[in-house]
Structure 1
């Protein structure tokens, strides 16, 4: 009898607890469905507002209309976010579909070498990212561990992006900088994506042309089957770079050996050229670089030169046997918009930001010059010194990219919105027109 009473009490206790738990779950669900979630603020307090001058670059900006950033702290977002990749890429506004058949049929490869400025890297990657392209990211081996992990975290979210299989400790003007590009080229040569040309970038670059414009430019009559390696026969003032032996102080600087030890002549009786370290190369030329004895011997010879990436590519592009070679092409090829200090008064009217190593770090007032030049990319930008310059250029560029699309625009691709209109409706109507 006592056992029966005990069993009855236990049953009633369990039943009562079950009723209470079910009631709590029901009430919580009821609150969630009846009370709307508090909307996210349109412009978080940490956002920089667009400068007044920037409005002249942004289309459809009438008096009283304001543009608002949709994200502000991309660096801390990656470092602190626990979101899964689909949410991460969406919240960072990456474009997730090819925007035109023309671009889809002509995939590009990109080599991006980075070592600092995580926010700039994220903004650069999302500006150049398209799902049909392929991206090799070389992170400097001396970059902080936290930085390396953040880059790896983002890059791992894309099937068509990867970290270089071998990382160099890069030294300014050293052979290691050239080696970083070559490491990525070896990886890209194995890619199953049928990329047509490869472009190299650094973390302080930003595109001026859209991906569609890059494809059209590279398929133009002048460049369809050619490499772009702007440069000329090595000037007398630059001959010390390849006639004297140098040594790389890893991660620090490049210095001359001894009191000026001389080098032997270049292999294969090559004429040495001097040019930019930036290029756009055909896939066949990349194969030539990786397999040709001429390219291999020039690479070995270049190990103790100063800034070999400024003679290696352009010299090989003047070898007649090289696929896509451009003999005596001079400085042709709109690779970079760069304001050099010694060209002030000739190619530009001065740097509106400030010079570092005689290269302009762009300020906002440099934007008209950058946009009017319409080069493939502009170099260089910094996050802390002149942030409004990149803010405005980024929004101008994204608007151009989306306005050229032949597919409906996903609202998540918008980097900024207007305060009194629906930008997503505008872009969708533009795409369908």
Structure 2
């Protein structure tokens, strides 16, 4: 039996990108248990020891393409104590779905796909972008009892922080949520614009996704094709309106100058150069950004295409696992390279419900 004797790197050398995707999907679709040889070969490329952490994290991952990049992402962030909900687009190819099933099986029972009957065909700019967050948020609440914070990401993101660093950052938040906010002063209504992504306390997700106090806002935002980009308003509005007030939400709603540390993103209007290319106003990160990414304090970087400047992704992946190897030896993260005071000093960290 051939067990990954042809590496992904070797596959890249003589196939088109479409052929690569098909081959990799076929490999992952064959996985039937965590002990499957294909699975073990993939996971053990970067061996690491499991350790106990004193905080469990839930991750929701929205995906629609590139099983190899999703697998590499999961290989970095997966820990047995955490929970992982993966939502794939309803329009995904069957071969991609089968590969995701194999990938989830490879990493174990704490990685779960959203059942097909609950999946959404996501269309950029409308309420379908928000719905997977509710679906995975509810699934995480019902399927894993002990996580304290939920982080929501997409398949094209890269983790800048190890699990140990993420736990340290979440502790530094002191029970607050970390949600982006930009003041829309020209509105009389208390709408706050930000991002659908962030770090959310479990109790906040409980209220935001299932609570009666937020139902009117939730139903309004989910009306089909009524709002443009409702995902950019929902969580931010809930987090910065003190009359609600939700667990972990911010008391000081007049201050919007804090950096958003959940995501590193280079937008078209950013002062950071983007010599690669933009997709929907977001810079696709490449080799030119590697040294900057190693020093920035955010949790994740958005976005990478692993087959676009693949050497950049390879370098960052090695850097990430080198950090884990060092943590395994020392028993702690490198406090010189990652200072949690950036999280502890946020206004909402100090003043929240």
Superposition TM-score tier, normalisation by shorter sequence: 0.7 to 0.9
**Partner SS state of residue 224, structure 1:** coil
Query: TM-score w.r.t. structure 1 length?
Result: 0.66
Q: Is the 8 A contact 2:31 2:105 kept in 1?
A: no
**1:112 Cα offset (Å):** 0.2
Q: Which residue of 2 aligns with 1:133?
A: 82
Query: What is the Cα deviation at residue 39 of structure 1?
Result: 12
SS for the counterpart of 2:35 is helix
Q: Does the CA contact (< 8 Å) of 1:208 and 1:376 recur in 2?
A: yes
Q: Secondary structure at the match of 2:306?
A: coil
Q: 1:232 aligns with which of 182, 207, 213?
A: 182
Would you say the 8 A contact 1:273–1:311 is kept in 2?
yes
Aligned equivalents of 1:225, 1:98: Cα separation in 2? 29
Structure 2: distance between partners of 1:123 and 1:160: 17
Aligned-partner SS, 1:196? strand
The equivalent position to 1:339 in structure 2, one of 243, 252, 266, is 266
Unaligned residue ranges in structure 2 (runs of 5+): 14-22, 332-353
- Tell me how far 1:313 sits from its aligned partner: 0.4
* Aligned partners of 2:31 and 2:103 also within 8 Å: no
Aligned equivalents of 2:192 and 2:94: distance in 1? 38
Indicate yes or no: 2:105 matched with 1:153. no
What is the CA-CA distance between 1:84 and the residue it aligns to? 4.0
TM-score, normalised to structure 2, is 0.80
Query: Structure 1 residues 332 and 385, CA, compared in 2 at 3 Å: closer, same or farther?
Result: closer
Q: 1:312 and 2:234 equivalent?
A: yes
Deviation of 1:395 after TM superposition, in Å, equals 1.2
Partner in structure 1 of residue 276 of structure 2: 353
CA contact (8 A) 1:352 1:366 kept: no
Aligned length: 309
Corresponding residue number in structure 2 for 1:402: 325
Q: State which of 244, 249, 255 in structure 2 corresponds to 1:325.
A: 249
Q: Structure 1 residues 319 and 374 mapped into 2: Cα distance closer, same or farther (>3 Å)?
A: same
Question: Which protein has the larger Cα radius of gyration, Structure 1 or Structure 2?
Answer: 1
Structure 2 SS opposite 1:141? coil
How far apart are 1:76 and its partner, in Å? 4.8
For the aligned residue pairs, the C-alpha RMSD in angstroms reads 2.8
Give per-residue Cα distances to partners, 1:159-202, cap 9 Å, x unaligned. Answer: 11111242111111110110111001111111244001000011
Contact kept, 8 Å, 1:99 with 1:405, in 2: the verdict is no
**Using a 3 Å threshold, how does the CA distance of structure 1 residues 39 and 136 change in structure 2: closer, same or farther?**
closer
1:215 corresponding residue in structure 2 = 167
Q: Distance in 2 between matches of 1:173 and 1:380?
A: 18
What are the ranges of 5 or more consecutive residues in structure 1 without an aligned counterpart? Answer: 1-37, 50-72, 240-264, 409-433
- 1:119 equivalent to 2:68? Answer yes
CA distance in 2, matches of 1:45, 1:377: 24
Preserved contact between residue 158 and residue 300 of structure 2 (Cα < 8 Å) = yes
Structure 2 CA distance, aligned partners of 1:367 and 1:44? Answer: 22
CA positional deviation for 1:98: 6.5
Tell me, yes or no, if the aligned pair for 1:97 and 1:130 is still in contact at 8 Å. Answer: no
Which residue does 2:55 correspond to in 1?
106
